[in-house]
Amino acid sequence: MTSRKKKAIIIVSIITLALAGIVGYRIYSTTQASKARAARASQGQVVAVEVAAVTRKDITPVLTFSSSLEPLWSADISSKVDGRIERLAVDEGDAVSDGMTIAILDMGELSAQVVQAEGNLFQAKANLEQAELDLRRMEALANQGAISAQSLDSARTKRDLAAGQVRSAEGTLALYDSKLTGANVNSPRSGVVVKRYLQSGYYAKAGTAIVSVADISTLLAKATVGEAEIAQLAVGAAVKVKIAALGEQEFIGTITRLSPVATMPSRTFIAEISIPNPQNILKAGMFAKVEVPIQPHAQALVVPETALVMKEDIKTVYILAADNKVQQRALKLGYVGGGYAEVLDGVKDGEQIVISGQNKLRDGSTVRLGAPGEAGK
């Protein structure tokens, strides 16, 4: 590339950069001028607002937690022995009672083993009886000196072995009887069948779940509670539980347990709320919102929530000054809810604050008191 071409490229680049700088500066100047004009217009514009006095009232703070409903008790029900399911007596949704037979296994082979074990026990008992008779005869002969001590010891050993065989046969029979009893699979508690894993004709291995049963007469909401909130809860306290799936329908629950140890590293606790469900309206898995009222705040200084204005992540209100100008003032808030915000610092009792029309205000704006519905115009 010749030096002339290089110079031309450099000149073009310089001109391009200069034009870009000029255009950028004009855009910035225009934007800043527009903002300044808007600010002056806002300062000069008189905005109609509604105001109300800062008041005091009794408020009851409410702690809100989210949770999913869980059964009071649930368990997978399985058989104690292997076997083919001869009959499954329940299906999903069926109610079961404590001790009710859920399934029956085919135990034909095991029944034969029980009969065989009974026969072995009878034989062992007969052998023991014969061994005891022989021992008594040997003892009588030994007392007469008719037999040796070795013969007597052999008879006694034979009797002891026969007694051991009886105990072994009894254990075998008890084992088979226990297995045969396990052919009937029963529910350990009353509840509802929430899941069926197998059906009639399937071969069930010992310990393999056949159905899952849950007690939903009472449901549990397990809420995660922070360490600053756990001290405000008490076992036995009544709470409100709102169910979103039922149109925010309210139910009354009771705090039944508070975990004594925090979960680390989050330092949170579990509050367990029991909600009676006598009509089975509630379903496990539904989303629940738990509302726990805590110690009321008597005659707290409050402002309407609608008066709050966010400014750089700080909640503020507009105070009406004597010259019909407003002053934006930052607040330190306590409990916020139920349409009111508790003010810990920032305003005084009786001061007039803007409750409508503040979206068009800024610090120092001139306002006038408007009729209801006129605010902001």
Domain ranges of the chain: 42-60+297-369, 107-182, 214-293
- Give the separation between CA 220 and CA 288, rounded to whole angstroms: 10
CA 268 vs CA 62, 85, 174, 219, 295: distances in Å: 18, 46, 51, 22, 21
Helix, strand, coil percentages in the chain from 3-state DSSP, rounded to 5: 35, 40, 25
Contact 50, 326 (CB under 8 A): no
Tally of CB atoms within 10 A around 162: 20
Which comes out higher in pLDDT, residue 319 or 358? 319
Contact 173, 118 (CB under 8 A): yes
Q: What is the mean pLDDT of residues 193-211?
A: 90
pTM of the model: 0.59
Alpha helices in the chain (DSSP H): 3-44, 108-144, 149-181, 227-230
**Which of 18-22, 89-93, 113-117 is most confident?**
89-93
Q: Is 24 exposed, middle or buried (0-12, 13-18, 19+ CB in 10 A)?
A: exposed
Element (H, E) at 91: none
- Give the separation between CA 75 and CA 263, rounded to whole angstroms: 25
Q: What's the pLDDT band for 359 if we cut at 50, 70, 90?
A: confident
Structure tokens belonging to residue 357: 């029309």
CATH architecture of 107-182: Orthogonal Bundle (1.10)
User: What does the pLDDT read at residue 41?
Assistant: 47
Q: Smallest Cα–Cα separation from 103: which of 35, 204, 178, 10?
A: 204
pLDDT, tens only, 27-55: 777 666 555 555 544 445 788 888 888 98
Contact 275, 218 (CB under 8 A): yes
CATH for 42-60+297-369, options being 2.40.420.20, 1.20.140.10, 3.30.1330.10, 3.40.190.10: 2.40.420.20
- In this chain, the answer to whether the domains covering 107-182 and 214-293 adopt an identical fold is no
CATH class belonging to 214-293: mainly beta
Q: Which amino acid is at 67?
A: S
Across 88-125, b (16+ Cβ under 10 Å) vs e yields bbbeeeeebeeebebbbbebeebeebbeebeebbeebb
- Give the separation between CA 293 and CA 300, rounded to whole angstroms: 16
